[in-house]
Amino acid sequence: MSEKTAIVLTVNGQDHAVLLDRPSTLLDVLRHQLHLTGTKQGCNYGVCGACTVLIDGKSARACLALAGDCGGRDVVTVEGLADDPVAIALYEALVAAGGVQCGFCTPGISVALTELLRERDGDRPTRDDIRHWLGGNICRCTGYVKIVEAAEWALEMLETHPIAEESA
Amino acid sequence: MTELPPVIGNSVRRRDSADKASGSALYTDDLWRPGMLHAALLTSPHPSARIISIDGSVAAALPGVKAIVTGADLPTRRWGAFVQDETPLAVDVVRYVGEPVAAVVATDAAAARAALALIDVEYEELTPILSIEDAISPEAVLVHPGFAQYGKRGELGAEGPNEVTQQELTEGDVEGAWADCDEIVEGVYEVPSQSHVYLETVSAIAEFDKSGKLTVWSANQSVSKVLSTLTKALDLPMSKIRVITPAVGGGFGGKSGVTVQPLVAHLARITGKPVKLTLTREDDFMMMRRRHPAIVKVKTGAKADGTLVARDLEVIYDGGAYAEDSPAVLGFGLLMGRGPYRIPHCRLRGSVVYTNKLRAGGFRGFGNPQVTFATESQLDELAERLGLDPLELRLKNALDQDELWIGGQRITSCAFKACLEKARDASDWNTRRQAGREARDGKVRGVGIAGVAHICGLMGTAATIRMAEDGTVTLATSAVDLGQGADTALSQICAGALQIGLERVNLTGADSDAAPYNWSTGGSRVTYMVGRAIVKAADEVRQKLIEHAAELFECAAEDLELRPGGNVGLVGVPEKIVSFQDISLRAHYTSGGPILGSGALVYDGEPFDPKEATIRNYPFERIGTYTFGAQIVEIEVDTVTGQIEIINAWSAHDVGKAINPLAVEGQIQGGFAQGAGYALVEELLWDEGQPINPTMMDYKVPGAPDLPMEIHPIIVENPEPSGPFGAKGVGEPPLIGVAPAIANALAHAAGVRLRRIPMIPERVLDALDQRRQE
Amino acid sequence: MQIHQPADLNDAIRLLASNDEVRCLAGGQSLVPMLNLGLVDPPALVSLRHVAGLDRIERGEDGSLSIGAMASQAALAAFQATGQHQVLVQAARQMAHPAIRNFGTVGGSLCHADPAADLPPAAVAAGATFSISGPGGAREVAAEDFFVDYLTTALSDAEILTGIAVPAPASNSAGHYYKYARVDGDYATVSVAVSLSADAGVCSGARIVLGSCAQVPLRLDEADAALVGSAVVDGSVDTDAVARAGTMLQQAAEPLDDVRGTAAYRRRLIPGLVARAVARAAAEIGT
Ligand SMILES: Cc1cc2nc3c(=O)[nH]c(=O)nc-3n(C[C@H](O)[C@H](O)[C@H](O)COP(=O)(O)OP(=O)(O)OC[C@H]3O[C@@H](n4cnc5c(N)ncnc54)[C@H](O)[C@@H]3O)c2cc1C
Ligand code: FES
Ligand code: FES
């Protein structure tokens, strides 16, 4: 166990050489080695969604991905969405709708919703789609209403101001 | 009240939201110090046992391990808000499963955790007290045999075995009054342990600098409580301690006491390095706090026309292994025992007992939800017996402004009736009450109501405002923003009081080096209490500004006024003004010194009146400024499974004045969601003292698909004369009425009455089956 | 702990065979929580992610369905299924949460064999055949024989589930997965997987399978037989027949007893939920 394994992780478009001396999760590496602390730990076993990141464009539990199995995958954290038009619309909407209270769930929710709104091609997610999509992201503060409303606002913003959505 | 400044009552954007949404806000575990070590805790596997020996030698030899610390290594200075019964690590005995017994400090958290398994602890198991019934039995062993010797605050009146405190509030002649009642209902109600499940687990970092000054960053609800406890626990003067609260990922009362800060500070002292401890979710579930479970016996009598006459209420709360805030929780509960109604004869008695389970503490509602579940359920039972509409029964007996609360305090502002009426109208109550109950697919519908009351005035607080050279201000309060938006609302109050734009108000974080005392973020008190302190501080700033301007203009101070936008002007002469900036520059560089204002107050409402009531062992001398609400919920009950689904909710709350309406709505919806969890699914369970469900996999909280979007907040504004711009608190009330409103809706939908929550499907189905058999 | 990433099935099998304690890693959505909670500590893992060809979901020309073990639960949930195959898709849609379905695999869920999981009863209802490869070569087992006990399957050491195959649906058939849980995304308190076919107004085939009602998915020949031959009219099945089937299953059940429901409670739910699930399947068949 004390043997170290070297891997290369691609996070937010950048390659990082990482030494692992135990079966670390992606969450551990992001927070404690790469200091990308926007990804939160609420449970460490897949229930809360605070650790949501995108792996190959799909929302994923960083606490359930083994870092050693992530080599060659494209990992994007909330920090990597800073210039993403979908995420920006979401941030704007979450703030304006009052969807942020303690904020601990919010980065994970932003990332999860980014996937939903990005992949909406033609099929507009309904209110129920959004609610069920958020089933995997626990928020203990808001009662979810304003978060769902924010997702709807963001959707409207993106529809009325279609922008090139390819992120950097 | 004259016209309010535009910043008041305005849903301005929360200052912290953009950082939080994009992940750049920093919480305690996001912080890092050079050379920092990490701690992990070994916990007790027994609910009650004597520690015979602890051998950490094998663990200590592991690579990366820097120290193994046990209770015996630390000075025994017990602390506690009311009873000094706590130590950072167990000493000699363990009192609940999950109690920290030893700490490992290592170079990283995983190494520290790995070492735990190698610490060898020998225990001698003792008979545990596992329920309220066990605790109060005359032969009960004592959870704290040394209770009598502990330091205590105030008169607790503990008498029976394992009793922490015993209190009473009584008015009138209850025993004599039953004869005047046409209908009397009696019942025993049972409420569970609810876990806070704030999304950020408890975390703290402690570091000593070379001068011996300690800095502690931690997730907490009160910088001041952490500071005063550290002073005692570490025997350091407050001048040598700095307490900082970074962003906090929710608290709901669970972080209101002192948690791991003293331990982490000791570990930093022992190792000479900064030390961080972040609890795993399991540890947090098993080691922190929970809502008090309780057994509530209530008897209420009324006249045939619905006039309430008498109530007898007795509540016993299970406080768990340590007393923490229990006396205050009981005090709040009893104060709400009569509810916002006129009941001339009332006897409200209660106690808290120790058990060998996780300590119970403050949790949104603070003892009130337990009692209100019982009393508001019982009002519906009474209404049914009397053949009255439950909402009408409440309206008929509702208290009004200027009437007396139990204990004899005058109610300074009250919009309870308006809350009931607005919720009734918004929900179309009469139609829904009469509507056919059968819905499709084996499901039945019903609607229920509960009245809500709470307080928002207690304890002390302070704020300072200092004006910078350019006329902008820095507001300092140590109120912690747990996510409810206090930082923004308090800044709005400051901006409003000085009639300046919000962008001209800078707020210090909750940092003991920068900000003055504030008791706590709890009791729904921050907007009201801290807001008042800010208004006072702003008033001093205003006076000083005017004094300077009077010198400048060579006029009398009485002829000057604040003008919107940061100016002082001559009354009646619009063009005669001087800006805050000019005054502040003058103050800084030519005369009088920088402008500083401070405001401090201890809750100053009317005290209890001993002529009105018999009051025994009450933990607060003054507590009050009542808030009101009405909760209506529409549900659908699946008669095949017993599962309850919430369809609609209308929550009307009298907030005095909503400083930031969007934030108030957020409190209402979020409180409703926690109340729904309490009512329907949440219950911490133990088997022989072993926690059964201390994980988020097993202990479920509601997710987005489990709650309706139709949680309708109804803000009722009726200014409180003493409140900042008329505001009162709203942090806790939205949770309180949810469980009884759902129980009442269940009775309406399916004709069954559950006197126990959570109303898990199996309990509902049992009741349905029983009814089908009858 | 090493994570091997073989690209070839035989390499994967060889690596697994090198040590008893070595395990496959699929989506990690059950294995990693166990690692994090310290419940397992394998010396090495063999990731199946790079093994070619394991993640396909394909409909054969004959209408049969084959699902690779490494197909994600999300991919199955998005699959346009017909007839009895719907039971699998509906089960996949109700599992866990989106992010977990994105990475959790069909094979991982089946091999984990949690008695409260959703895909196992659905696979039994669909009449799937499981394809297994191991040091001794390839073999096939029926879904029902795959689930042996709590978290235990018919896989022996170093064997890998490569995929499942589901026969073509009957022409007039439907599948329905009814999940009843405490809250959204939780494991089922009780689940009912139904596959139903009808011919000229008469039930021609039925499989009713319960989740969380035994250590393995629970199906009874007698209960299924009780439905066959009963009338299927206007999208509903003869209620007496359904009630008989429900009672038989109720009597045979040995439900789980845990925080998601007591055994007694789960047992009580069975007839009512079977009726509901069969009714919904029947409604999907139509007349
Ligand atoms: C929060 C949460 C909620 C969940 N809710 C549900 C739910 O509601 N319903 C439900 O059904 N499930 C639920 N799950 C479980 C989830 O569906 C898992 O994804 C699934 O059980 C495992 O699939 P995996 O691909 O992630 O497998 P892994 O975790 O990688 O593996 C699971 C086990 O199977 C073995 N294995 C995997 N693939 C193979 C193979 N091809 N051959 C041989 N052995 C193999 C592994 O060695 C391991 O022992 C939940 C999980 C979480 C974390
Ligand atoms: S920390 Fe990953 S889901 Fe909770
Ligand atoms: S805002 Fe606090 S958990 Fe969502």
User: pLDDT, tens digit, for every residue of B263-295?
Assistant: 999 999 999 999 999 999 999 999 999 999 999
Distance, CA of B301 to CA of B295 (rounded, Å): 20
- How many CB pairs below 8 A link B and C? 44
Span B523-552, pLDDT tens digits: 789 999 999 999 999 999 999 999 999 999
- C240 residue type, one letter: D
Answer yes or no: is pLDDT of A1 > 70.
no
**Mean pLDDT, residues B93-121 taken together:** 97
Q: Is B117 on the interface with A (CB under 8 A)?
A: no
Q: What is the CATH number of domain C1-51?
A: 3.30.43.10
Chains contacting B (3 or more CB pairs within 8 Å): A, C
Decide the pairing of beta strands B711-716 and B644-654.
parallel
Q: Is C267 on the interface with B (CB under 8 A)?
A: no
Answer yes or no: is pLDDT of B2 > 80.
no
Chain C: give the shortest CA distance to residue B760, in Å. 8
Every domain of chain C with CATH number 3.30.43.10 lies at 1-51
Distance, CA of B375 to CA of C159 (rounded, Å): 61
Distance, CA of B718 to CA of B731 (rounded, Å): 17
Contact B671, B741 (CB under 8 A): no
Q: Which residue CA neighbors atom 2 of ligand 3 most closely? A: A102
- Are B762 and C180 a contacting pair at CB < 8 A? no
Integer angstrom CA distances of residue B258 from A141, B271, B364: 22, 22, 17
Chain A: give the shortest CA distance to residue C281, in Å. 23
> Residue C98 is nearest to which of A1, A55, A133, comparing CB atoms?
A133
Confidence of residue A33 (pLDDT cuts 50, 70, 90): very high
- Are B681 and C182 a contacting pair at CB < 8 A? yes
Cα B564 to chain centroid, rounded: 36
Contact B366, B732 (CB under 8 A): yes
**Which ligand has its closest atom nearest to the C-alpha of B280?**
2
**Predicted model pTM:** 0.97
**Mean pLDDT, residues B146-173 taken together:** 95
Span B612-663, pLDDT tens digits: 899 999 999 889 899 999 999 999 999 999 999 999 999 999 999 999 999 9
Distance, CA of C160 to CA of C147 (rounded, Å): 14
Contact C245, C274 (CB under 8 A): yes
Q: How many residues does chain A have?
A: 168
Every domain of chain C with CATH number 3.30.390.50 lies at 173-285
Distance C230 CA to ligand 3 centre (A): 52
Answer yes or no: is pLDDT of C132 > 50.
yes
- Are B703 and A95 a contacting pair at CB < 8 A? no
Q: What is the pLDDT of residue A123?
A: 81
Q: Is A67 on the interface with C (CB under 8 A)?
A: no
Please, what is the Cα angle at C41 between C40 and C43, to 5 degrees?
140
Confidence of residue A3 (pLDDT cuts 50, 70, 90): low
Structure tokens at B333: 């509960």
Q: Which residue CA neighbors atom 10 of ligand 1 most closely? A: C117
DSSP state string for chain C: -EEE--SSHHHHHHHHHT-TT-EEESS-TTHHHHHHTTS---SEEEE-TTSTT-S-EEE-TTS-EEEETTSBHHHHHH----GGGHHHHHHHHTSS-HHHHHH-BHHHHHHHT-TT-SHHHHHHHTT-EEEEEETTEEEEEEHHHHEEETTEES--TT-EEEEEEEPPPPTTEEEEEEEE-SSTTSPPSEEEEEEEEEETTEEEEEEEEEESSSSS-B--HHHHHHHTTSBEETTEE-HHHHHHHHHHHHHH-----BTTB-HHHHHHHHHHHHHHHHHHHHHHH--
The beta-strand segments (E) located in B137-218 are 163-171, 183-191, 203-208, 214-218
Distance C166 CA to ligand 1 centre (A): 20
Q: List residues in chain C touching A: CB distance below 8 A.
A: 1-3, 5, 25, 28-29, 32-33, 35-37, 45, 47, 49, 74, 96-100, 102-103, 184-185
Confidence of residue B69 (pLDDT cuts 50, 70, 90): very high
Share of chain C above pLDDT 70, in %: 99
Distance, CA of B97 to CA of B355 (rounded, Å): 12
- For chain A, the average pLDDT equals 92
Answer yes or no: is pLDDT of B483 > 50.
yes
Distance, CA of B161 to CA of B352 (rounded, Å): 11
Report the side by side order of strands in the sheet with C2-4.
C2-4, C44-47, C23-25
Answer yes or no: is pLDDT of A166 > 60.
no
Q: What is the pLDDT of residue C286?
A: 66
Is the ipTM value over 0.90, yes or no? yes
Chain A: give the shortest CA distance to residue C151, in Å. 18
Span C206-215, pLDDT tens digits: 999 999 999 9
Distance, CA of B316 to CA of B132 (rounded, Å): 8
Confidence of residue B453 (pLDDT cuts 50, 70, 90): very high
Does the domain at residues C173-285 carry the CATH identifier 3.40.50.300? Answer: no
Q: What is the pLDDT of residue A168?
A: 36
Query: Pick from B221, B722, B696: which is nearest to B455 by CA?
Result: B722
Q: What is the CA radius of gyration of chain C?
A: 19
Q: Please tell me whether residue B446 adopts helix, strand or coil conformation.
A: strand
Distance, CA of B209 to CA of B739 (rounded, Å): 49
